[in-house]
Amino acid sequence: MTTRDKLQSIAINLWWSWTPDARDLFRRLTPEIFQASGNNPQAALTLADDEVLEDDDFQDEVDALYDRFQTYMDREPELDDVPETAYFCMEYGLHESMSLYSGGLGVLAGDHAKAASDLGLPFTAIGLFLREGYFEQSFDANGWQQSTYPVLDTAKHPLSLVMDESGKDPLTATVHVGHHPVEVRAWKLNLGHTELYLLDTDFDANPDEYRPITRQLYQGGDYERIRQEVVLGIGGLRLLRKLNGNEPDVYHANEGHCAFLMFELLRERLAAGDDLETAEDWVRDKSVFTTHTPVMAGHDHFDPDLFTDILSGFEHEIDLNSHELLSYGRVNPGAHEEKFTMTVLGLKLSRAANGVSKLNGHVARQQWEGLYPDRPLDEVPIDSITNGVHLPTWTAGPAQDFLKDHLDGDFRERHNPDIWDGLDDVPDETLWEYRSHLRQRLHDFIRKKVQEQSLPMHPDLDPDALTIGFARRFATYKRAPLIFRDMERAEALFSDEDRPVQLIYAGKAHPADDAGKTFIQRIYEISQQEPFKGKVLFLENYDMEMGRMLVSGSDVWLNNPRRPLEASGTSGQKVAAHGGLNLSVLDGWWPEGYNGDNGWAIGPEPTGDYGDADEEAQDEQDAASLYKQLEESVIPTFYDRNDDGVPTEWVSMMRGAMTGLPAPFSAKRMVTDYVEEMYRNEG
Owning domain of residue 337: 85-131+158-387
- Pair 253, 201 in one domain: yes
Query: What type of residue is 657?
Result: A
Q: Are strands 340-341 and 301-302 parallel, antiparallel or unpaired?
A: antiparallel
Residue 501, CA atoms < 13 Å, CB-side half-sphere: 23
- Pair 345, 223 in one domain: yes
Question: What is the rounded distance in angstroms from the CA atom of residue 15 to the CA atom of residue 498?
Answer: 45
- Pair 259, 344 in one domain: yes
* 35-77 pLDDT per residue, tens: 999 999 999 999 888 889 999 999 999 999 999 999 999 999 9
> What average pLDDT does the segment 192-198 reach?
98
**What pLDDT score was predicted for residue 413?**
78
**What pLDDT score was predicted for residue 187?**
98
* 242-291 pLDDT per residue, tens: 997 879 999 999 999 999 999 999 999 999 999 999 999 999 999 999 99
- Pair 220, 278 in one domain: yes
- Pair 193, 318 in one domain: yes
Residue 80 lies in a domain: no
pLDDT band at 681 (very low <50, low <70, confident <90, very high): confident
* 132-177 pLDDT per residue, tens: 999 999 999 999 999 999 999 999 999 999 999 989 999 999 999 9
Judge contact between 126 and 197, C-beta under 8 A.
yes
Residue 341 lies in a domain: yes
**What pLDDT score was predicted for residue 245?**
80
Question: What is the rounded distance in angstroms from the CA atom of residue 361 to the CA atom of residue 349?
Answer: 18
Judge contact between 384 and 678, C-beta under 8 A.
no
Residue 267 lies in a domain: yes
Query: What type of residue is 69?
Result: F
- Pair 363, 437 in one domain: no
Residue 612 lies in a domain: no
Count the domains in the chain.
3
- Pair 368, 471 in one domain: no
Question: What is the rounded distance in angstroms from the CA atom of residue 683 to the CA atom of residue 679?
Answer: 11
For the chain, give the percent of residues with pLDDT over 70. 99
Q: Are strands 536-539 and 501-506 parallel, antiparallel or unpaired?
A: parallel
Q: Is the pLDDT of residue 608 over 90?
A: no
pLDDT band at 27 (very low <50, low <70, confident <90, very high): very high
- Pair 335, 409 in one domain: no
Question: What is the rounded distance in angstroms from the CA atom of residue 237 to the CA atom of residue 595?
Answer: 44
For residue 604, the 8-state DSSP code is: S
**What pLDDT score was predicted for residue 220?**
83
Q: Is the pLDDT of residue 425 over 80?
A: yes
> What average pLDDT does the segment 573-595 reach?
97
The mean pLDDT value of the chain amounts to 95
Query: What type of residue is 603?
Result: G
Looking at per-residue pLDDT, the higher value among 556 and 683 belongs to 556
**What pLDDT score was predicted for residue 609?**
57
Judge contact between 381 and 350, C-beta under 8 A.
no
Residues in the chain: 683
> What average pLDDT does the segment 345-352 reach?
98
Among the residue ranges 521-530, 583-592, 604-613, the one predicted with the least confidence is: 604-613
**What pLDDT score was predicted for residue 412?**
83
- Pair 290, 403 in one domain: no
Residue 230 lies in a domain: yes
**What pLDDT score was predicted for residue 120?**
96
- Pair 234, 91 in one domain: yes
Question: What is the rounded distance in angstroms from the CA atom of residue 665 to the CA atom of residue 435?
Answer: 21
pLDDT band at 409 (very low <50, low <70, confident <90, very high): confident
Question: What is the rounded distance in angstroms from the CA atom of residue 98 to the CA atom of residue 306?
Answer: 32
Judge contact between 206 and 219, C-beta under 8 A.
no
* 650-661 pLDDT per residue, tens: 999 999 999 999
DSSP string, 222-264: HHHHHHHHHIIIIIHHHHHHHTTT---SEEEEESGGGTHHHHH
Judge contact between 190 and 13, C-beta under 8 A.
yes
Segment (H or E) for 590? helix 590-593
Contacts for 531 with CB less than 8 Å, ≥ 6 apart: 491, 494, 495
For residue 412, the 8-state DSSP code is: T
Residue 93 lies in a domain: yes
Contacts for 529 with CB less than 8 Å, ≥ 6 apart: none
Segment (H or E) for 46? helix 41-46
DSSP string, 509-574: --TT-HHHHHHHHHHHHHHTSTTTTTTEEEESS--HHHHHHHHHH-SEEEE-PPTT--S--GGGGG
Q: Is the pLDDT of residue 611 over 90?
A: no
> What average pLDDT does the segment 104-124 reach?
97
- Pair 257, 205 in one domain: yes
Residue 678 lies in a domain: no
First to last CA, the chain: 50
CATH number of the CATH domain containing 659: 3.40.50.2000
Contacts for 136 with CB less than 8 Å, ≥ 6 apart: 99, 147, 148, 149, 150, 541
Judge contact between 407 and 422, C-beta under 8 A.
yes
**What pLDDT score was predicted for residue 408?**
84
Residue 152 lies in a domain: no
Considering Cα of 638, then 639, then 645, then 648, what sign does the dihedral take? negative
- Pair 106, 13 in one domain: no
Sequence-ordered alpha helix ranges (H) in 231-376: 236-242, 260-271, 276-286, 304-310, 312-318, 322-327, 342-348, 358-367
Last residue of a domain, one of 358, 387, 416: 387
* 461-519 pLDDT per residue, tens: 999 999 999 999 999 999 999 999 999 999 999 999 999 999 999 999 999 999 999 99
**What pLDDT score was predicted for residue 282?**
98
pLDDT band at 612 (very low <50, low <70, confident <90, very high): low
> What average pLDDT does the segment 100-117 reach?
95
Give the residue among 365, 372, 361, 362 at the shortest CA–CA distance from 608: 362
